[in-house]
Amino acid sequence: MKKFLLVPLFLILYSLFTSLVLANPPAGGPIAPGQIKKEIVGEVKEDKQEVRDNVAQLHANRLRHRFLEAYYPKLNVFILKLQAKITSMSEAGKNMTSSQAKLDEAKTSLELAKQLAADSIAGFEAIEPAKYNIQRQQALTARDQANQARTKFIQTIKLLKETLQLMKAA
């Protein structure tokens, strides 16, 4: 007997539930599954955009610390010390013209590296929230400038080594 009562009871509860749901539809009408998917995809794209913006700012901070706060001051101090040593050696009567020429070349290279580093940092900081293709092109340009700056810093170090070798030979 109980089995016979369960089926009608289930049908009554089901009809009551469906009538309540249909009586109170969502504010914008029924939501299509495709609309939910589009909203989720839009939110994911916005999140990815924010991450790309944060990554560009992190690159700019990292480059500023590495190039302008670490490499440049240390190399500049080293150049000043070498300049003082060349001056004292030339006053002692040694021929230091080739060493001085290499040191001047290293100074020029260091200033160019500093300028390239500043341009690269400005490039990463200038990346605005935009479409991915525009951001990608800006990031690639800034990356190329950072690589050029790194190459110039390496060239400066090589020139300083050559200056030391010329000083030892004098």
For residues 32 and 93, the model is more confident at 93
**Contacting residues for 86 by C-beta, under 8 A, at least 6 apart:** 96, 99, 100, 103, 167
The yes-or-no verdict on residue 53 having pLDDT over 80 is no
**What is the Cβ-side half-sphere exposure of residue 116, based on CA atoms within 13 angstroms?**
18
79, 157, 124, 134 alpha-carbon torsion, rounded to 10°: 140
* Beta carbons within 10 angstroms of residue 25's beta carbon: 10
pLDDT digits (tens, 9 = 90+) for 60-90: 999 999 999 999 999 999 999 999 999 999 9
Structure confidence at residue 45 as a pLDDT band (50, 70, 90) = confident
Tell me the residue length of the chain: 170
**Contacting residues for 85 by C-beta, under 8 A, at least 6 apart:** 167
Structure confidence at residue 55 as a pLDDT band (50, 70, 90) = confident
Structure confidence at residue 114 as a pLDDT band (50, 70, 90) = very high
For the full predicted model, state whether its pTM sits above 0.75. no
| Domain-wise residue ranges, the chain | 41-169
pLDDT digits (tens, 9 = 90+) for 155-165: 999 999 999 99
Helical residues (DSSP H) of the chain, grouped into ranges: 2-23, 33-63, 72-91, 97-125, 132-169
The yes-or-no verdict on residue 9 having pLDDT over 70 is no
Residue 13 to residues 7, 24, 148: CA-CA distances in angstroms?
A: 10, 17, 74
**Contacting residues for 145 by C-beta, under 8 A, at least 6 apart:** 116, 119, 120, 123
Rounded mean pLDDT of 143-165?
95
